Amino acid sequence: MTNEFNPRDPVAKPKLSVVIPARNESTTIAYVIEEARSVHPESEVIVVVNGATDRTAEIAAQMGAKVIRYSAALGHDVGRSLGAKEARGDIILFLDGDIVISTDLLTPFVQAVENGADVALNKYQGRVNTKNVHNVVLSKRVLNALLSSSELGASSMTTIPHAISRKALRVIGCDNLAIPPKAQAIALTSGLHVAQACFVDVGKVNPKRRKSPDPLSQLIVGDHLEAIHWLFSQSDSRANRSDLGRQRERVRD
Amino acid sequence: MKIIPKKAAVKKKRPLRKPVAEKSVNSLKKTAWDKGAYAAGCRSVGWFWPKSIDGEPPENIQWERTINVRWAKWFGKHAFRRVPRLSYPLACGRFIRGFCETANIDISSDLLLPTTKSVCCVLTVKNEAATLQAQLNELRRLPFEEIIVVVNGSTDNSYEVARNHPVQATVVHFDSALGYDVGRAVGARMSHSDMILFLDGDMTIRVDLLLPFIYEIEKGADVVLNPISSLLPTFERRDSVSNIKQFLNICLGRRDLHADSLTAVPHALSRRAIEKLGTSVLAVPPVAQERAVRLGLSVVRSPVTVDVITRNRLRKQNVGLGNRVEHLILGDHLEALHELMGNFGPRLHFPDSMRQRHLIEEGADESV
């Protein structure tokens, strides 16, 4: 993996790397960076600007963040993968360019990793006090149950903020961060310590999705299927779940 | 017609909700349809058996089946969208009375099937003599073509109960336990009927609740599920089994099925479904459901919910075997997803058209 400490860099290796994918986020990016930088004294901020037509990159650079620039839009979560490749810290915190989260709420994620967790997730569960559940929330919950981690509820690496340790990054692999549920499946099956750190209500600030079928939720359900597919590739078609002694051979067609 | 003594009539519990749906579904002129049932029953006799001079009925006739065919034809003329919950048993009773009095015969059923097709009931039983007896008593009220009882791994007298019951069930016996849901496949394999109802020996289901399942198939459905989703709590209190059932339905593009599944009884399959799916797959119900949807069979929910959650099989399992059964059912659904992915790829119909995955390998335009 290419994301080890870079000796050519004059700056000392930071403790925390904050990865922020951003598109046209010139109105919020400055605040996001400011809050993120205060989380830890030794930190670097990496902003992955992609498909931007406004001044997002310039603002980020002015704020002293490391900016990785792509002219084309990368699509969902690919920025995390590319940002993580550049990260040099022991802890990597993932944020979004359009959601400003205060330092107080970000600190618990970093602390959780400092205290031994490999992946620190947002406790956010989505809207659950309903009978008509959203596909995305359901997918998250199903995946955790399939990974024998029902206690995580619908907490997911799809949701920001979340922080991971350097070890987790090595085990999961930078590339897999682009498909967050797959990254989560890898983390949980390889015995990494996945914990819930803090509740950050990202549902309030996420833009309301009205279109049906909503392309983003379709994408996220697909991601979870990809994670399940990865699970199959690691085991069998039942993911090593018992049949409780079914005598299938009794009936043949 | 049964005459209920007054005392019993007073004691009888009133239903919690007043059935109002019936009137709104069917047009008003149909509300009095059951009044004509007696006369229809009388008339039906003449259609196939002109009264012989001495008034004795001919022998070697399966009266239940014969009456049922006549009834189903008469009932079918009304073109109901659903089986009328209250008036159906009344009309059946009148029709049977009319028929039996005219033909001078006696039959054991007090209800009739809303179809001319033959109907089979498959019951899987494992140490459930008590509920089996009660369930068979209930089933006797309907003129089923076959009743198949699959007794497996039983150490009580389940076999004797099934064997000696006047309903004349076909009984299959296995010394060892077949495992979850395998009994259904065994029973389905033996059946030759036009549709099959699947029940479990560990609970007694009122037979009139089965009629909507049969009627849905009569109207052209291939798979009829028990709509137990309506009984589920809000999402935060749901178990992982309900969740994965719902998830599979979403993956099948059938969000409208909610968390309803072939895993739950009762459910009904048409002969067409059995032929397309095969019987062995019924041992893993979620896979059968996946195939049914994938092969274009008509999968619907029954309009009436049979509450199998509160009195229940799930609770019994959850206490003792709990986790193991949960894992079994999760595994079954994974098997279904695995088969689905084998046909449509890892992401099914949830494409990822936005991500530039190739860029993960390549470098950035410029770094600042």
Chain A residues within an 8 Å CB radius of B191: none
Whether residue A226 and residue B243 make contact (CB cut-off 8 A), yes or no, is no
- Residue B263 distance to chain A (closest CA, Å): 14
Whether residue B359 and residue A70 make contact (CB cut-off 8 A), yes or no, is yes
Whether residue B337 and residue A228 make contact (CB cut-off 8 A), yes or no, is yes
| Consecutive H or E run containing B9 | helix B6-11
The reported pTM is 0.87
- Are B173 and B88 members of one domain? no
Number of domains in chain B: 2
Residue A60's alpha-carbon distances to A10, A21, A32, B285, in angstroms, are: 21, 11, 10, 54
- Are B210 and B166 members of one domain? yes
Of the partner residues B180, B330, B368, the one whose CB lies closest to the CB of residue A69: B368
Of the partner residues B332, B335, B357, the one whose CB lies closest to the CB of residue A178: B357
- State residue B237's pLDDT score: 86
Q: Is the pLDDT of residue B49 over 60?
A: no
Chain A residues within an 8 Å CB radius of B360: 78, 81-82, 174-175, 178
Chain A residues within an 8 Å CB radius of B243: 138, 141-142, 145
- State residue B19's pLDDT score: 52
* φ, ψ at A123 (rounded to 5°): -75, -5
Chain A residues within an 8 Å CB radius of B347: 222, 225-226, 229
- State residue B354's pLDDT score: 82
Whether residue B359 and residue A72 make contact (CB cut-off 8 A), yes or no, is yes
Q: What is the DSSP string of A183-208?
A: HHHHHHHTT--EEEEE---HHHHSPP
- Are B100 and B164 members of one domain? no
Whether residue A142 and residue B348 make contact (CB cut-off 8 A), yes or no, is no
Show the domain range for B46: 30-112
Chain A residues within an 8 Å CB radius of B346: 225-226, 229
The residue that leads in pLDDT, A10 or B173, is B173
- Are B300 and B181 members of one domain? yes
**Sign of dihedral through CA atoms B186, B187, B189, B190?**
positive
- State residue B163's pLDDT score: 92
Whether residue A139 and residue B189 make contact (CB cut-off 8 A), yes or no, is no
Whether residue A239 and residue B364 make contact (CB cut-off 8 A), yes or no, is no
Q: Tell me the three state secondary structure of residue A137.
A: helix
Whether residue B246 and residue A133 make contact (CB cut-off 8 A), yes or no, is yes
- Residue B346 distance to chain A (closest CA, Å): 6
Comparing alpha-carbon positions, the chain B residue that sits nearest to A154 is B236
Is B290 within 8 Å of B255 (Cβ atoms)? no
Distance between CA atoms of B124 and B203, rounded to whole angstroms?
Answer: 11
Domain boundaries of chain A, sorted by first residue:
16-201+211-238
Say if B220 falls within a structural domain.
yes
- Are B97 and B129 members of one domain? no
Helix axes B313-320, B323-344, angle to 10 degrees: 110
Whether residue A71 and residue B365 make contact (CB cut-off 8 A), yes or no, is yes
- Residue B5 distance to chain A (closest CA, Å): 44
- State residue B339's pLDDT score: 94
Comparing alpha-carbon positions, the chain B residue that sits nearest to A75 is B355
Q: Is the pLDDT of residue A80 over 60?
A: yes
Model confidence band, residue A10 (pLDDT cutoffs 50, 70, 90): low
Determine the average pLDDT of the residues in B119-141. Answer: 92
Q: Is the pLDDT of residue A13 over 50?
A: yes
Which residues, in sequence order, are CB contacts of B267 under 8 Å at separation 6+? B197, B198, B213, B223, B224, B225, B226
Say if B340 falls within a structural domain.
no
Say if B105 falls within a structural domain.
yes
Mean pLDDT of the residues in chain B: 84
Distance between CA atoms of B314 and B317, rounded to whole angstroms?
Answer: 5
Model confidence band, residue A5 (pLDDT cutoffs 50, 70, 90): very low
Q: Is the pLDDT of residue B103 over 90?
A: no
Residue A119's region, left for phi above 0, alpha for psi from -120 to 50, else beta, is: beta
Q: Is the pLDDT of residue B333 over 80?
A: yes
Determine the average pLDDT of the residues in A78-85. Answer: 91
Chain A residues within an 8 Å CB radius of B324: 242, 244
Of the partner residues B182, B244, B352, the one whose CB lies closest to the CB of residue A248: B182
The domain boundary, picked from B112, B129, B156, lies at B112
The residue that leads in pLDDT, A5 or B65, is B65
Whether residue A61 and residue B250 make contact (CB cut-off 8 A), yes or no, is no
Q: Which amino acid is at A120?
A: A
Q: Which amino acid is at B73?
A: K
Among residues of chain A, what percentage have pLDDT more than 90?
54
Is B315 within 8 Å of B202 (Cβ atoms)? no
The residue that leads in pLDDT, A204 or B103, is B103
Say if B227 falls within a structural domain.
yes
Whether residue A222 and residue B240 make contact (CB cut-off 8 A), yes or no, is no
Q: Rounded to a whole number, what is the distance in angstroms from the first to the last CA of chain B? A: 90
Q: Tell me the three state secondary structure of residue A67.
A: strand
Q: Is the pLDDT of residue B161 over 70?
A: yes
CATH level 3 topology of A16-201+211-238: Spore Coat Polysaccharide Biosynthesis Protein SpsA; Chain A (3.90.550)
- State residue B367's pLDDT score: 46
C-alpha torsion angle, residues B317, B318, B324, B328 (rounded to 10): 70
Q: Is the pLDDT of residue A101 over 70?
A: yes
Whether residue A128 and residue B255 make contact (CB cut-off 8 A), yes or no, is no
Q: Is A159 exposed, middle or buried (0-12, 13-18, 19+ CB in 10 A)?
A: buried
Residue A204's region, left for phi above 0, alpha for psi from -120 to 50, else beta, is: alpha
- Are B230 and B318 members of one domain? yes
Chain B residues within an 8 Å CB radius of A252: 280
- Are B107 and B235 members of one domain? no
Nearest to B119 by CA among B86, B72, B83: B72
Q: Is the pLDDT of residue B311 over 50?
A: yes
- State residue B318's pLDDT score: 45
- Are B107 and B231 members of one domain? no
Determine the average pLDDT of the residues in B192-200. Answer: 94
**B352-366 pLDDT tens trace:** 888 888 887 765 444
Of the partner residues A135, A215, A239, the one whose CB lies closest to the CB of residue B250: A135
Determine the average pLDDT of the residues in A173-187. Answer: 93
- Are B68 and B201 members of one domain? no
Nearest to B194 by CA among B118, B139, B254: B118
Comparing alpha-carbon positions, the chain A residue that sits nearest to B180 is A246
- Are B198 and B309 members of one domain? yes
**For an interface test with A, which of B356, B358, B361, B367 has the most A Cβ atoms less than 10 Å from its Cβ?**
B356
The domain boundary, picked from B66, B90, B112, lies at B112
CATH number, domain containing residue B269: 3.90.550.10
- Are B183 and B258 members of one domain? yes
- Residue B206 distance to chain A (closest CA, Å): 28
Distance between CA atoms of A70 and B367, rounded to whole angstroms?
Answer: 9
Say if B355 falls within a structural domain.
no
Distance between CA atoms of B63 and B125, rounded to whole angstroms?
Answer: 29
**For an interface test with A, which of B247, B256, B279, B280 has the most A Cβ atoms less than 10 Å from its Cβ?**
B247
Distance between CA atoms of B200 and B126, rounded to whole angstroms?
Answer: 9
Say if B336 falls within a structural domain.
no
Comparing alpha-carbon positions, the chain A residue that sits nearest to B174 is A250
Determine the average pLDDT of the residues in A198-210. Answer: 71
**For an interface test with A, which of B243, B254, B255, B323 has the most A Cβ atoms less than 10 Å from its Cβ?**
B243
**For an interface test with B, which of A71, A250, A252 has the most B Cβ atoms less than 10 Å from its Cβ?**
A250
Chain A residues within an 8 Å CB radius of B366: 69
Distance between CA atoms of A88 and A40, rounded to whole angstroms?
Answer: 14
- Residue B297 distance to chain A (closest CA, Å): 19
Whether residue A244 and residue B325 make contact (CB cut-off 8 A), yes or no, is yes
- State residue B320's pLDDT score: 46
The domain boundary, picked from B94, B112, B130, lies at B112
- Are B93 and B208 members of one domain? no
Distance between CA atoms of A91 and A68, rounded to whole angstroms?
Answer: 19
Chain B residues within an 8 Å CB radius of A128: 234-236
Mean pLDDT of the residues in chain A: 87
Comparing alpha-carbon positions, the chain B residue that sits nearest to A130 is B234
Whether residue A245 and residue B232 make contact (CB cut-off 8 A), yes or no, is no
- State residue B317's pLDDT score: 46
